Structure 1
Amino acid sequence: MPRPDRIPPGPGLRRLGVALLCAAALTSVLSACTGAPEAATRQQQPAAAPAVPGAPAAPSVPAKVSYGMPADVSALILPTSGEGTRSTQGLDAFARLAAAWAVHDCARKRGETVPDGPPPMFTRLFSVPDLDYLRAHGFGEAVDVPGAPPRTPSSAQAPAEPGPELRTCLAEGRTAGQELPRVYQALQARWFEELAPLAHDPEVLRAREGFPGCLAAHDVRAEDENAFFALVDARLQAADAQGGRRLGAVYATCMAPVEAVREPLRKQLAERFRAEHRAEIATVVTELPKRVRELEQRYRIRFSVPAL
């Protein structure tokens, strides 16, 4: 189920979400629809990157990641900066990775073939944009989570409709995929609700006033952010990877003044939020590492986060 932090604020951003994140959204439902490598190679097995809808498939490249949870576990669920969201992405993706392996292991035991589907992917948070990552990689580059089961060689091997055995496996995947989010999801949802009013903060609105002029200075014809993302969407639909990278760099440059205002405001909010939710945060900080270790051992996977 999409969370508030995944919902872009305007129609242009919604269109971008269709182009950029549709495969990631499907992953939450179909991340289990993958095949199986040997356990010893799970942590090194990159999966093929999904294509932009209607576009030729992009070449598969291994994800650049770092492994292990941060020292400050609470930062996973209370990101205040773009760089900090990489750990948040890793947390969400790890749950999808566990779900994928739960379905795979169940299907193998029952002699079932799982339908082909998109692999678990890291999903960016647009409410807290990672400008450094966008500057380096641009828009449209989907990053697969390492260690996912390989995709089924042919979806023709799987039944059009899952039978009782496969439905049982899919249910196991959904259960496994919720083990981790149940620990932190309610608290994190409240945190993103706390961040939402920043969109209307006077300082933020003043910083945004320079965005159209910055776009024009970089020869990007878009009168506002919605128009900009409509342009991004068009480039991705046309499979224009170079254009997506260029627009990502322009966006990072033009949004830098806005983030320079928003990031300190987020940190101020985080201090108050931590004080108001001290007991809940302490519970998450205690439980989350234990659950991650349990899932790592059960499915022989590793917690990873995207890296530049």
Structure 2
Amino acid sequence: MPCADRRPRRSTAVKALPGAALLGLVLTLTAACSEAGPDSSAHPSAPSAVPGTVPGTAVAYGLPADLTPMLLPAVGSETRLTQGLDGFASLVRDRATRACLSAARVRMPDAPPAMFIRLFEIPDLDHISRQGFSPAAVPGAAPSGPATGATGAADSADSADSADPSDLAEQRRCGKEGEAAAGALQSLYAPLQSRWLTGLGAVEKEASVVAARQGFSDCLAGRAIRADNEQVFFDQVDRILQTADGPAAASAEDHRLGAAYAACMRPVEAAREPLRVTLRAGFVREHEAELEAARKALPERIAELERRYSVRFGVPTED
């Protein structure tokens, strides 16, 4: 599949979605993911979003002058550009699906809006330290349906069970149409980007990175968090967020845990960032023709999609 990280895990609310709504969720989230990422043992699954919340974020509109960091991010701040590209593809998918359903006079299944999905292979520690782990809605995205909150999922499931089979067929057909619209955009960059992200696993084996990771669990322990590694930490975050006493408590915990993670991962990122930058220089040389083709094709295709669907390309910025 071309995720809160790029391999999202289902939250409690997601598990309750009916079939049609789950299709909408999958089309919204998974197409923001690359088809292949770095070794999952090196890059664990990130925690789910705070239950019942899809916050907004500050956004800068327009493409960057240099598209290389957007296509091949190497440092955390650059991943905001990548999030913008993935978010725009999700927005196109959503708009195309809705246009198709509107023409067929069939309602849109309940699903989360298009979101900026972070790359936890390359954590944006400055942003995580302030905002926690939850993704943010892309400006211009339609509001999420009732199935995305902590309540209303059961009612939505009941309505889906009694829906006209022809409506469900149209929802699936239009979902595929939306996927095709986004896929046409993603085909310009996703294969190249996927190879780049896949190759980042090699960085984890470098001695400086291995040494920097040795202090991660002790750093967390100093903040009253017990976790031997990132995956254990993220599992713990998931449990805390899903069992918090309401959205406000979950949001507070999300911010607390995000700040702790950012602080304890800074030595690791200090070791990894220069290695990724060097790795990217070689990757660019090896894939110069393919990269140049993507840099030339994307601005025109994005501009055309902005006109067709009345949306704007934007990237999350510093708050």
109, 120, 140: which one pairs with 1:115?
A: 109
Matched, 1:62 2:56: yes
- Quote how far apart the aligned CAs of 1:64 are: 2.0
- SS state at 2:75 partner: coil
Cross-structure match for 1:303 = 313
- Measured in 2, the distance between the counterparts of 1:303 and 1:266 equals 26
Distance 1:213 1:79, change over 3 A: same
SS in 2 for 1:57: coil
The CA distance in 2 between the partners of 1:258 and 1:20, in whole Å, is 31
Pairwise CA distance, 1:26: 6.4
The question of 1:248 aligning with 2:253 is answered: no
Question: What is the CA distance between 1:295 and its match in structure 2?
Answer: 0.5
Of the three residues 210, 213, 223, the one matched with 1:208 is 213
Residues 51, 241 of structure 2: 8 Å contact kept: no
Change (3 A) 1:82 1:166: same
TM superposition shift of 1:168: 3.3
Structural RMSD (CA): 2.8
What residue in structure 2 maps to residue 42 of structure 1? Answer: none
CA distances 1:259-305 after superposition (whole Å, capped 9, x unpaired): 00100000000111111111111100000111111110100100111
Q: Match for residue 100 of structure 1? A: 94
Change (3 A) 1:270 1:160: farther
SS state of the match for residue 183, structure 1?
A: coil
Identity of aligned residues (%): 42
How many residue pairs end up in the alignment?
A: 276
Find the residue that maps to 1:186 and give its secondary structure: helix
Structure 2 unaligned spans of 5+: 16-21, 30-47, 147-154, 245-249
Residues 152-163 of structure 1: pairs in structure 2 closer than 5 A:
156=159, 159=163, 161=165, 162-163=167-168
Aligned counterpart for 1:171 among listed residues 154, 169, 176: 176
Is the counterpart of residue 198 in structure 1 residue 195 in structure 2?
no
8 A Cα contact 2:91 2:138, kept in partner: yes
The 3-state SS of whatever aligns with 1:305 is strand
Partner of 1:12: none
Structure 1 residue 257: Cα displacement: 0.6
| Equivalent in 181, 185, 188 of residue 190 of structure 2 | 185
Alignment counterpart, residue 29 of structure 1, candidates 26, 29, 32: 26
Instruction: State the alpha-carbon separation in 1 of the partners of residues 14 and 169 from structure 2.
Output: 28
- Tell me if structure 2 keeps the 8 A contact 1:81–1:263: yes
Q: CA deviation at 1:18?
A: 3.8
- Contact 1:63–1:143 (Cα < 8 Å) also in 2: yes
Query: In structure 2, the residue corresponding to 1:6 is in which secondary structure?
Result: coil
Partner of 1:125: 119
* C-alpha displacement of 1:110: 2.2
Equivalence for 1:47: none
* 1:149 corresponds to: 142
- Which one-letter code corresponds to 2:280 in the other structure? A
Query: Which amino acid letter does the alignment assign opposite residue 139 of structure 2?
Result: P
Partners of 1:166 and 1:296 in 2: CA distance? 24
Question: 1:148 corresponds to which letter in structure 2?
Answer: A
Decide whether aligned partners of structure 1 residues 284 and 216 sit closer, same or farther in structure 2, where only a CA change above 3 A counts.
same
TM-score, scaled relative to structure 1:
0.81
Report deviation, 1:225: 2.3
1:222 maps to what in 2? 227
Deviation track 1:188-210 (CA, whole Å, cap 9, x = no partner) reads 11111221111111110001111
Q: 1:198 to 1:27 in 2, by over 3 A?
A: farther
Give me the whole-angstrom Cα distance separating, in 2, the residues matched to 1:65 and 1:30.
Answer: 23
* Equivalent AA in structure 1 for residue 175 of structure 2: L
Distance verdict in 2 for CA 1:190–1:69, change over 3 Å: same
Q: CA offsets per residue over residues 201-242 of structure 1, 9 Å max, x none?
A: 111000111111211222222233232222211111113321
Asked if the contact 1:30–1:118 (Cα under 8 Å) also holds between the matched residues in 2, the reply is: no
SS at match of 2:187: helix
